[in-house]
Structure 1
Amino acid sequence: MLAIDVMTPSVICAKPEMTVQEAAKCLVENRISGMPVVDANGALAGVLSEGDLLHRVETGTEKRRSRWLELFSSTRDLASSFVKEHGRMVADVMTTTVVTVDETTPVADIAELMETRRIKRVPVMRDGALVGIITRGNLIRALASTAAPAQAQDTPSADDREIADAIVAALSDKRWALSKGNVIVKDGVAHLWGVIESEAEERALCIAALEVKGVKEARAHLSYPTIMPLM
C-alpha cells in the first residue's frame, strides 16, 4: 500500500494568524489531536498538535523549572519556552520543522518514519502542495481493511484508487458525509471509516458508496461521538 491508498484527503487545517483559543476549539470540535498549518497561499507552514498546547499560561500548566536548571538552559531555550507558553497566535506555538511524505511513499516507510521520529501524523504532499494527512489511526484502519496474510495482495489496484476517489467525490457535497473519515477500497470492497451522528448517516453512506461504479460491497467501520460525562 502507498500513502495515497490510506491517507485522509479532506484535511482540516489551521492558519498561522488564528488565535491559540480558536485552534484549540477547532481540535476539540473535530475530535482530532493535531492539524497542519497552511499560509494564505496554501503552503504548509507547520503542524499544530495537542503537545504544542500542553503547557499554557491560561491553564496554569507552564513548565516549572528550578533556578538551578535555568542556569544550565540557554537563553534561546528559555525564550522559546516563554513564547510557547504565552504566544497568542498559532504561528507562535506551532511546530515548524515538519516531516512530510509524498503520495507514492510506501506505508511501511511511513510507519517506520512515525516510530523513529516519534510523531503521530504526517502530511502528504504532491508537487509541494498538501493533499492529505496520515495518522497512526489511518495505518490501523488500513490493516483492518486487509485480508489475512495468506490471502492478502500487495497493494490496492489503480482501479481501487479510482473508485475510492469517486466515492470521496460523490460524498463531497453531502452535509451528512464524513467530514474527517477515510475511504479505502480493496478489490472493489469499499471500507468507510469515520465518526457519524446517526444510523441513518451510516445507511446513507453505504448506499452512496454502492452507487459508485465498480463498488461490489460497502462495509461501514463507523463510530459515534464520545460523550464525556459531567463531573
Structure 2
Amino acid sequence: MGIINFQGKRDTSIPKSSENILVSDYMTTKLITFRPDQSVEEVIETLIKNRISGGPVVNENNELIGIISEGDCIKHISESKYYNMPMDNNHTVEKNMVSNVETIDKNMNIFDAASKFISSKRRRFPILDNGKLVGQISQKDILKAALNMKGNSWK
C-alpha cells in the first residue's frame, strides 16, 4: 500500500507576493505626536484619551527627537512619589523621553520588520523620510498584514 497524501492538490495559481509587502503598506500615517516642552501630565491624559501606549516626540520641523511611552510616564510618577515630590508641569517630555530611537525604513519587507520587532522587544517603530517623521508601524500593524495574507494565500 502506498502513502496517501491528505493535503490534496496544491494550488499553484496563487502568486507569492509576500516579498512585495512593505512597511509603507501597513504603517500608520495619522500619528499623535508630542512636543518636547509638553508636560508629562499632558502626555498621560493624551495616552489615556486615545488608548495608545506611547508616541513619537517631534520638534517644530517634524523631525523625530524621541519617543515617550506609558513606561516612561510611570517611571516619572514613581520617582516623584519616591522622592515625595509633586508631579508638576515643570517635568517635560524632553526630560522623560527616550532619545536614542530605532527606526524602520518604509521600504522594508513586512517580514523583516516582524523579525526586528521580535529581536528588539519594541512595540512600535517610527518611520522617517528625509529626516522627517512620516509614519509609525506597530506590532498590531504586522498582525493586520499577516491576516490579510492569510486571506490571500494561506489555507
Do Structure 1 and Structure 2 share a fold, with TM-score over 0.5? yes
Q: Report the Cα distance in structure 2 between the residues aligned to 1:100 and 1:117, rounded to whole angstroms.
A: 11
Instruction: Give 2:100's aligned residue.
Output: 97
Correspondence for 1:122: 125
Change (3 A) 1:104 1:14: same
Residues 148 and 41 (structure 1 numbering): CA distance in 2 closer, same or farther, change over 3 Å? closer
- 2:71 and 2:78 map into 1 onto residues whose CA distance is 14
Structure 2 counterparts to residues 65-84 of structure 1, below 5 A = none
Unaligned runs of 5+ in 1: 64-86, 153-231
Distance 1:128 1:39 in 2: 12
Cα displacement (A) at 1:125: 1.2
User: What is the aligned counterpart of 2:35 among 15, 31, 46?
Assistant: 15
Partners in 1 of 2:69 and 2:93 — Cα distance? 10
Alpha-carbon distance between aligned partners in 2 of 1:127 and 1:113, rounded to the nearest angstrom: 21
Name 1:35's counterpart in structure 2: 55
TM-score by length of 2: 0.75
What's the Cα RMSD here?
2.2
Unaligned 5+ residue runs, structure 2?
A: 1-20, 84-89
Q: Following TM superposition, where does structure 1 have runs of at least 4 consecutive aligned residues deviating by more than 6 angstroms?
A: none
Name the amino acid aligned to 2:97: M
- Counterpart of 1:91 in structure 2: which amino acid? E
Q: State the secondary structure of the residue aligned to 1:48.
A: strand
Distance 1:145 1:15 in 2: 35
Identity of aligned residues (%): 31
Taking a change above 3 Å as real, the CA distance of residues 147 and 114 of structure 1, as seen in their structure-2 partners, is closer
Of the two structures, which has the highest relative contact order with CA contacts closer than 8 Å and spacing of 6 or more?
Answer: 2
Number of matched residues? 128
2:142 pairs with 1:139: yes
TM-score by length of 1: 0.51
